[in-house]
Every structure is written in C-alpha cells, then in structure tokens.
Amino acid sequence: MSKRKYFGTDGIRGTVGQFPITPEFVLKLGWALGQALGNKGNVVIGKDTRISGYMFESVLEAGLTAAGVNSLLVGPMPTPAIAYLTRTFRADAGIVISASHNPYHDNGIKFFSADGTKFPDEVELEIESLMDKAMTTLPSDQLGKAFRIEDAAARYIEFCKASFANNLSLKGQKLVVDCAHGATYHIAPHVFKELGAEVIVIGNKPDGLNINLDCGATATSSLSKAVVEHKADLGIAFDGDGDRVMMIDGGGSLVNGDQLIWLLAKYLNSNGELQGGIVGTLMTNMAVEVDLKNEGIDFERTKVGDRYVMQSLKKNGWKLGGESSGHVICLDYNSTGDGIVAALQVLKALKNTSQTLTNFSNLHPLFPQELINVRVENADVILAKKELKELVANVEKELGDSGRVLIRKSGTEPLIRVMVEAKDETTAENYANMIASQVQELV
C-alpha cells in the first residue's frame, strides 16, 4: 500500500491557512475529485458552522465545476446527514467541510462514497496522485453547475425521526440538548421536540468562532449543570459535526460512548436483535468487555478511530460498535457514526425497558482508568526496550482478568501513552505510575 501524503484516518485536517488547509489546495482537491469521478456526476457538499466553511465551500464548488461535476450545496449539516443525503440523492460522492471536535481555527475535508461510507484507500490514493497534475478547466459547455438544496435539513430531520419506533413518543421526557454551536444546532432540537419531548437547548447559537468552545461532547460540564438546574431526565451533547454523542444522566454524571454502546448491546441482545457482536477500540473500558462476554456477546477491539471500527463491523457482518469518545455506529440506521440517531436508540431502549439512564449508569460502572502521557522523542526505541516489556508483562500477569495495560505511541504528538485499568482506582494509579516512571527512566 502506497503511503498517503494528505489523507489521515478521517480525511484531511489542519489549521486554516496552513498547508494543506488553504484555498488553493482545496480548490485543486475539488478538481481532483471531479477527475476521479470521470468529469461527470453530482457531489453533495455540506459543512459545519466554522467561519472558514464559507471559503472552502466556494473553492470546492469551483474545483468541481472546472472538472465538469455538479455541486449540491446543503449548507451547515451534520457529517452523518451528508452520508444519508449522498445516498438519498443518488449522488456520486459527498463532501463534509469540518474539523469535527477541533476548535474553529482548524478545518478539514472528509469524503463519502456513493453508498455513504468513507472513501476506500484506493480512491484516496487516486485523488492524491491527481493532485500532482496540472489543474485544467473543461470547455464552457462541459462545466458543472451548482444547486442549493433548500429542504436538506427537513429531509434529515425526518430520517432521524424514522429511526425511532412509530409507536413510541418522548412525551413526559425533559431533555437538555447541547449542540456545541455546531452543525446540529438547527436539526437536533426539532428532532426531539417533534417526537414529543420538552427540550431545553444550549450551544445552539453559532457565530463561526464558538464551535466546540467549552460545550458539546468534548466539554460536558455546562450540560451537566443545566441538567441538574432544570431537573431534566437527561442531557445529550453532540460535537461540532454531529457524529459524536455523550449523555448526562439525571444526577449530572457523564455517560460516555462506552456506556451508551453497552446499554444498546444489552437491550438489543435481550430482544434477540443484536445481529452478532460488538466492536470497540483499544480504549474501550474493560468493564464493557467483561460484562458482554459474561452474557455470551462477542466483543472485538480495533485501533482507535471510527474508520477501524467500521472496517471490523463490515468484516464480521455486525451492526453495533464505536468508541468511548462518543462515536456510536448503528449500521441498521446509518452508514457512519450518527450522534442524533444513536441518542434516539438509547432513548428508545430506555423507554421500552422503563429504565432511567441514571439507573443504568449506577448499575453498570466503568473500571477506573488511569492515563499518563510521557513526552519522548524516540517512542519506538523506548517501546522496544526489554525492561519495559518485562515490566508490562508482570503488571498484566498481576492484574489477570481484573484489569489491563495499554502502552502505545501517540499518533499526533511526541508522547507515549500509558493506560492502566483495574477494578479499583488505587491499583490503576499505582501500576500506571510504575510503568510511566520506567518509561521516564528509559528516556
């Protein structure tokens, strides 16, 4: 497999104005996609609410137009909405302009294929090879056109509502919904209100600069406070592009992606609807794995990243998986992680079992997890050291089935990440500090 020059595990992302997140590069990226599509077809373009989205929407449209491809512009829209709209419009590809949970000064480009899944490696590599060629413009009578899709939000709202059973209502439920000043701001409140809930909305006033700022799935303290203040049943937090969800129970405590997947797995399994096992990642809490295996539910771990979760689900023919960060993939409903749809499945499970989120989180606590980052410049060398491997093996032996160790190189920073899980906090802390000290000594 050739090494990617621009694409990471989730598209191309970086600081606006710094290569490759520049107007010049993104213009050519649009053109390269048009070339890869054979100079014809339709591409859905959506974005989140960051101010640079206007600029990148314009240049993508221009690049596609020069290559003879039509742009279907839907404006601010969650990432999973683009996956859905690409399928429903029978488009040839979808583009999301977003840096997900990052601050406003970052942005990125993600691609979806015609079936609403991430582009396969070979297509990304083809686009990268086309970036090395000189950009050309087709004759005027062969240029693409741009169309504004006015009802895109309404279409996606109805799609989300359709994932909630027709015979169920959210009447009597008080929900606080945090839209992270992001792409769900004009979608999520309508979905939950139209299903009957009383909805208090926060994080729904985007100004181009406040996306993910002290709010949303990556900063849930304001949501926790609002749930307690309003005596709500629970809170729901999305990230900037709406593909992640976190929840807050009625007592104000965080319920993360691991616990939401755990809840859905147990509910679906009890109804005979699970269709196979569950996919998590290296970071999925061990309490989830232990409980699922005790119930006879298969569980598989992948590398961190929803891309790898999706690959494993497809390989196994399973339907449910995700990450502790809030990516919850329900393949019965959408072809990618969808925060709103996942939240609705949790609400449906709670409704059908007459259970509260507080009750579930109290009965299903996660193992304490201690994570220590050690700054290093030569992570591969350190990780290969015999004495470190022996220490980790000894700790794993002592923990047995009541904990685990994960030590890995960061993919984004010069760090070694040391994570230890155990059934009690003190044990996790002690072992994590022991291993981190050994790493520090080797440095």
Range 114-143 average pLDDT: 95
According to DSSP, the residues that pair with 358 across neighbouring strands are none
Percent of the chain with pLDDT over 70: 99
Specify the pLDDT at position 145.
Answer: 98
174 and 247 co-located in one domain: yes
CA 349 – CA 127 distance, rounded (Å): 42
Kindly give the pairing relationship between strand 328-330 and strand 320-322. Answer: antiparallel
CA 343 – CA 187 distance, rounded (Å): 13
* Confidence band, pLDDT 50/70/90 cuts, at residue 120: confident
**8 A C-beta contact, residue 180 and residue 238:** yes
- Is residue 2 in a domain? no
118 and 204 co-located in one domain: no
Chain-centre distance of CA 107, in angstroms?
15
pLDDT digits (tens, 9 = 90+) for 272-288: 999 899 999 999 999 99
123 and 50 co-located in one domain: yes
Specify the pLDDT at position 1.
Answer: 47
pTM for the complete prediction?
0.94
377 and 416 co-located in one domain: yes
110 and 192 co-located in one domain: no
Sign of CA dihedral 275, 277, 278, 281: negative
Active-site position among 100, 163, 224, 325 = 100
Range 352-364 average pLDDT: 95
According to DSSP, the residues that pair with 11 across neighbouring strands are 8
216 and 186 co-located in one domain: yes
DSSP-assigned letter for residue 210: -
125 and 21 co-located in one domain: yes
Range 388-400 average pLDDT: 96
φ and ψ at 167, to 5 degrees? -90, 5
20 and 94 co-located in one domain: yes
Which ranges of 364-418 would DSSP assign to H, the alpha helix? 379-383, 386-399
Specify the pLDDT at position 9.
Answer: 78
- Is residue 343 in a domain? no
pLDDT digits (tens, 9 = 90+) for 290-337: 999 999 999 999 998 888 999 999 999 999 999 999 999 999 999 999
pLDDT digits (tens, 9 = 90+) for 403-432: 999 999 987 678 999 999 999 999 999 999
To which residue do tokens 């689900």 refer? Answer: 313
Specify the pLDDT at position 4.
Answer: 81
Range 31-45 average pLDDT: 98
- Is residue 3 in a domain? no
- Is residue 40 in a domain? yes
Which of 311, 268, 262, 255 lies closest to 288 in space, CA to CA? 262
- Is residue 421 in a domain? yes
2 is catalytic: no
- Is residue 347 in a domain? no
Residue 23: CB atoms within 10 A of its CB come to 16
Q: Which helix (H) or strand (E) holds 264?
A: helix 257-270
Range 392-412 average pLDDT: 91
**Domain span at 306:** 256-338+354-363
Q: Coil, helix or strand for 300?
A: strand
Range 381-396 average pLDDT: 96
- Is residue 1 in a domain? no
Sheet holding 70-76, edge to edge: 12-15, 106-113, 93-97, 42-47, 70-76, 146-148
47 and 127 co-located in one domain: yes
37 and 98 co-located in one domain: yes
Range 27-34 average pLDDT: 98
> Which residues does 347 contact at the CB level (< 8 Å), separation at least 6?
164, 170, 173
The helices-and-strands tally (H runs, E runs) of the chain is 15, 18
- Tokens of residue 67, six digits: 């290559």
Q: Coil, helix or strand for 94?
A: strand
Number of domains in the chain: 4
CA 123 – CA 120 distance, rounded (Å): 6
> Which residues does 365 contact at the CB level (< 8 Å), separation at least 6?
287
199 and 301 co-located in one domain: no
Specify the pLDDT at position 412.
Answer: 67
Q: Coil, helix or strand for 44?
A: strand
Q: Coil, helix or strand for 433?
A: helix
Q: Assign residue 203 the CATH number of its domain.
A: 3.40.120.10
**8 A C-beta contact, residue 107 and residue 97:** yes
pLDDT digits (tens, 9 = 90+) for 178-230: 999 999 999 999 999 999 999 999 999 999 999 999 999 999 999 999 999 99
Q: Assign residue 375 the CATH number of its domain.
A: 3.30.310.50
CA 274 – CA 264 distance, rounded (Å): 9
CA 177 – CA 194 distance, rounded (Å): 14
235 and 268 co-located in one domain: no
Asked if residue 135 has pLDDT above 90, the reply is yes
